[in-house]
Amino acid sequence: EEQLVESGGGLVQSGGSLRLSCAASGFTFSSFDMHWVRQTTGKGLEWVSAVGTASDTYYADFVEGRFTISREDGKNSLFLQMNSLRAEDTGVYYCARVTKWGWYFGLWGRGTLVTVSS
């Protein structure tokens, strides 16, 4: 069964850091571009970042250099290092795999909750 499982969320103070992880199983992880998508109360679903199979990276403007996406294909894992966190970063962070038809999301994890206290 294809699966994505996120971890690493939690409660952090404004200005703090968290490192999210996503463990993939049931498919050839190295063959897919991978993304982080978040869901916040204020903005709904927001695309955060992507990493391609060649480790090329892409970020939403609101990241402003604070987050770093990476992947470790040998461990079937995706990461998001988040620094300088703000209250508006509070939300559920999903790991998502693209489809073979393009950058739509055909497989999602259950999400990990990030809460930034001000």
Q: Which residues bind other proteins (CB under 8 A)?
A: 35, 44-47, 50, 58-61, 94, 99, 101-106, 108-111
* CB of residue 78 to other proteins, shortest distance in Å: 15
DSSP string of 9-32?
Answer: -EEEETT--EEEEEEEESS-GGGS
With respect to other proteins, which residue has the nearer C-beta, 90 or 112? 112
- Which CB atom, from 42 or from 74, has the smaller least distance to other proteins? 42
Torsion of CA 71, 46, 58, 108, to 10 degrees: 30
- Lay out the sheet containing 67-72: strands in order across: 3-7, 18-25, 77-82, 67-72
CB of 17 to other proteins, least distance (A): 23
For residue 65, the minimal CB distance to other proteins (Å) is 14
Q: Which two tokens stand for residue 117?
A: 């206290």
Query: 74 or 102: whose CB is closer to other proteins?
Result: 102
